[in-house]
Amino acid sequence: MKVNLMKGCLTSGEVDSYFHDVLKKIIPFLTSRMLPFLSFNLMILALSRSGSSLLADFVYVTSLYSIPVVLFSMPLALIGNFSNESNGLEGFKIFIYGIPTCIFLSLLSFFSAIFIDLYATHYTVRPVEGLSLYKYCVPMLVINTYLYIYSEGAINNKVTAKIKSVLSILSVVLVYFCYFKSDSISVDTLFSIFILIEFFTLIIFSLMIFKYSKSYFFDLEFKRFFSECVRFLKLGYPLSLGMIGQKLIFFLLTYRLMGVSDTLVSHLSIVMVVIGFFSIPIASYAQIHSIYISSKSKVTPVIFNFGLMIIFLFSMLFFIIILIGGDFIFSFFDSKYGSNSILFFISLFFLFLSTSVVQFIIGHLRSLRDTKIPQITVNVVMFFIFLPMCYLVDLHVDDLCLVIFMQSAALFFAAIFLYKRLVSLEGFRVRG
């Protein structure tokens, strides 16, 4: 029965087209996300070997400034969906009409970063290295989000991936050149390299977009500058607030676990890094899926069902990898928690699966221009179900599996609500 269903699904023309699109884009999308992740962690490794206080300063500063970056860049990330709703000239028009919004949000992010710098400098108990320097990186991170997502989704994802790869490698080379030159590296030096790389990113992607779009000519409609701004903000800010809500949830969770044991917090952080690394293919696939749905006038639910099947198969692959090499993977972090514990690996599987399903459904809803309800749903479930469980349950230092299972259960609960939301939309049955 399952084999016949699979065969019928795979031989349908709609799924063939979808599967071809995924295969064509997955490597570039994966590369442009995987290499920055690896390069970032390699830079952290160099910093950690230079002194624990430097690493603490780095984590503090980047966490602090992540608020304006997330708040003002997430609306701009929708350019990937908007520009693919109408390919070619019309997609480029949307990009052009969105530029004033991009500049406006980048300026707001810079003013917010200045305020954070003044506030943190005044109230921090000790001087923090890099606090005043990193604010110059914030507006470029916002602008580059807009340029990168548009280049990847509407111009050439392979060229975009190559550019991201070269810049990621260049950043690691510069960091380790400075590190080996003096057997250490300062936070200021690291942030200076960040600023340099983001500047290169801005220039290169701007030139790339100009090269690929210079044949497009059209008369500007000044009313569309305002209408596109409203569309970016209306659909984008639920994403921003949702991301900030997730950061607050993680902070409150960390605060609760620190009351139990610093070791428990450390183990959970390591788990999140591992899950984050293996989730990069899921994030890449969810973005490809979302852009594909946005680019089609009619999409039936078979595509969504096929996507869920891919999510489940990749989650099973993750489970097999963790079962076979979990001890080796966690040994990189000098962690022996859950060594040879099948319960620990099962908890990781459920966390990975629940996170992936939620991410995939949110991506599909985003393609249907539904961003507010999904973010509210996830944050409400995590705030009012997961966090109360963590605070009411009597946790101990060895209860990491329990925390992971509770988080997975809450995410599955959120996924059920998101799915109900999805099937209630007319666009899910036949998008048009």
25 pLDDT above the threshold of 90:
no
Calpha distance 126→60 (Å, rounded): 12
Three-class SS state of 333 = coil
21 pLDDT above the threshold of 60:
yes
Indicate the pTM of the whole model.
Answer: 0.76
Give 12's DSSP letter: S
Calpha distance 255→275 (Å, rounded): 21
Q: Which pLDDT belongs to residue 381?
A: 94
- Cα three-residue angle 369-370-373, rounded to 5 degrees: 165
369: left (phi over 0), alpha (psi -120 to 50) or beta: left
411 pLDDT above the threshold of 90:
yes
Q: Is 38 in contact with 185 (CB distance < 8 Å)?
A: no
Three-class SS state of 397 = coil
Calpha distance 389→272 (Å, rounded): 19
Calpha distance 367→365 (Å, rounded): 5
What does the pLDDT look like over 125-159, one tens digit per residue? 567 788 889 999 999 999 999 999 888 877 888 88
- Rounded to 5 degrees, what are φ and ψ at 249? -60, -45
Q: Which pLDDT belongs to residue 161?
A: 87
Q: Which pLDDT belongs to residue 10?
A: 44
Overall average pLDDT of the 231-242 stretch: 83
* HEC assignment per residue over 151-164: HHHHHCHHHHHHHH
What is the chain's Cα-based Rg?
22
